[in-house]
Amino acid sequence: MANANKNNNTGPLAGIKVVDLTRYQAGPTCTMILGDMGAEVIKIEEPGGDDGRENSVVGGFSLFFAAYNRNKKSVTLNLRTEKGKELLRRFIRWGDVLAENFRPGVMARLGFAYEDVCQINPGIIMMSNSGFGQTGPYAQRAAFNPVIEAMSGLMSMTGYEDKPPSSMGVGLADAAAGSFGAMGTILALYHRRNTGKGQHVDVSLLESELVLMSSGPFLRSLGGLKMTRGSNTVPGGAFLTSDGRYVYILGHHDRHFPIICRLAGRPEVAKDPRFGSLGARLNHRDELNGMVAQWTRTMTADALEAALEEAGLPYGRVNEVADVLEDPHVRAREMLVDMDHPGKGILPLVGVYPKLSETPGSIRTPAPLLGQHNEEVYCGLLGLSKKELATLQAEGVI
């Protein structure tokens, strides 16, 4: 895997200053992307730390936190105190971006609604990331990724028909919301460059999931095609091979169907009028997928992949996560990089994305320890004396 810890910052957002109040996954993904692309990110945590520090803890170290908080400096700040709020105001005056993912209304109760923030810094970009957005009947509801999978309709299409709906097992909505949060922030920065005006970026997990799903499922539903679990592609699915591996084959398109029938030794099936359209094939999915499964069980995974490659069919081996760590294409594209965490050793992190030819982003520092940069930021950036810093620590402000 490629190495990280690049000290040179040539990213396109170099010089942009981010005040980061986010925690857990969606918000930190947004600020991680901004940091990867060169922004200076100061992560402000409650004295107890980001909740993500308690997730996936191995040997006292949160692998989850390490994944989403590189290229950031950590300071602690108690926003329930008046002195803490005043320090946040000073950060806001300094920053170009204020990022938060509290439930809607929390920032207002703290005295930092968008209107309040604008009074402090008229040009600031405020990125708010929530479950359902800042407005609407669901705005105040709590949400996590599986809840969004359920409500977006995605879960209704995930799994098998004879079993309950299931979660995908990864935080897709969180990742999407973080990515769209970064995109919205960058768009707002571009607008500010042209106009001098800041704005509020409103991103939600639900809407981000809907965008990823695109219009396909909704338009199909309007057309009367019911999207059910296990029925989205026919022939298609993860098929078992003779050596116990699974290979995912996609053969549902009209031009793919005759090819997969020929490979399976059943060319006459492609001419059967019962299977003349995708909708017709969905009605006979058990029969058609059974035909493909019978064929794949006679071949090793390597032989099956070779046949599919030669025929030009879309396919992919069902990898274990450990397999992905060694995938030659993933490594060649530098999508997994080694990061040396002091005292924790080498950890594999997902690489910087997207890839820019002239101003590439970089991973310069690992995820910080809680409050690691208190003295550097408070004394260096905000100009506090060490005595003032000690007093604030004693008072529980930081």
Name which of 247, 222, 218, 223 is nearest 235 in CA terms.
247
Extents of the domains making up the chain: 2-214+336-394, 236-323
pLDDT at 4: 62
Residues 98-151 pLDDT 10s: 999 999 999 999 999 999 999 999 999 999 999 999 999 999 999 999 999 999
Angle CA(81)–CA(96)–CA(202) in degrees, nearest 5? 80
Residue 1 has pLDDT above 60, yes or no: no
Structure tokens at 2: 């490629």
Q: How far apart are CA 208 and CA 148, in angstroms?
A: 10
Q: How far apart are CA 36 and CA 5, in angstroms?
A: 11
- What does the chain come to in residues? 398
Strands (DSSP E) along 84-210, which ranges?
Answer: 97-100, 125-130, 200-204
* CA distances in angstroms from 263 to 237, 282, 327, listed in the order given: 16, 20, 27
Max Cα-Cα span within the chain: 85
* CA distances in angstroms from 71 to 4, 7, 345, listed in the order given: 11, 11, 17
pLDDT at 159: 80
The residues annotated as belonging to the active site are 174
Is residue 74 within a helix (H) or strand (E), and if so which, with residue range? strand 72-76
Structure tokens at 383: 């100009």
Domains 2-214+336-394 and 236-323 share a fold: no
From the candidate CATH numbers 3.30.70.270, 3.40.50.300, 3.40.50.10540, 1.10.8.290, the one assigned to the domain spanning 2-214+336-394: 3.40.50.10540
Rg (CA), the chain: 25
| DSSP 3-state of 359 | coil
Reported as a pLDDT band with limits 50, 70 and 90, residue 232 is low
Residues 308-333 pLDDT 10s: 999 999 999 999 999 998 999 998 99
Q: How far apart are CA 189 and CA 145, in angstroms?
A: 28
pLDDT at 164: 87
Q: How far apart are CA 346 and CA 334, in angstroms?
A: 16
Is residue 331 within a helix (H) or strand (E), and if so which, with residue range? helix 328-332
The residues facing 44 across adjacent strands are: 75
Residue 223 has pLDDT above 80, yes or no: no
Residues 41-65 pLDDT 10s: 999 999 999 999 999 998 888 999 9
Q: Which residue has the tokens 């209107």?
A: 115
> For 132, which DSSP code?
S
Q: What fold characterizes domain 236-323?
A: formyl-coa transferase, domain 3 (3.30.1540)
Reported as a pLDDT band with limits 50, 70 and 90, residue 10 is confident
Q: How far apart are CA 265 and CA 269, in angstroms?
A: 9
Name which of 245, 275, 270 is nearest 260 in CA terms.
270
The residues facing 336 across adjacent strands are: 350
Residue 21 has pLDDT above 80, yes or no: yes
Residues 280-316 pLDDT 10s: 888 898 899 999 999 999 999 999 999 999 999 999 9
Residues 175-209 pLDDT 10s: 999 999 999 999 999 999 999 999 999 999 999 99
Q: Which residues contact 88 (CB under 8 A, 6 or more apart)?
A: 19, 44, 77, 79, 112
Structure tokens at 290: 């059974």
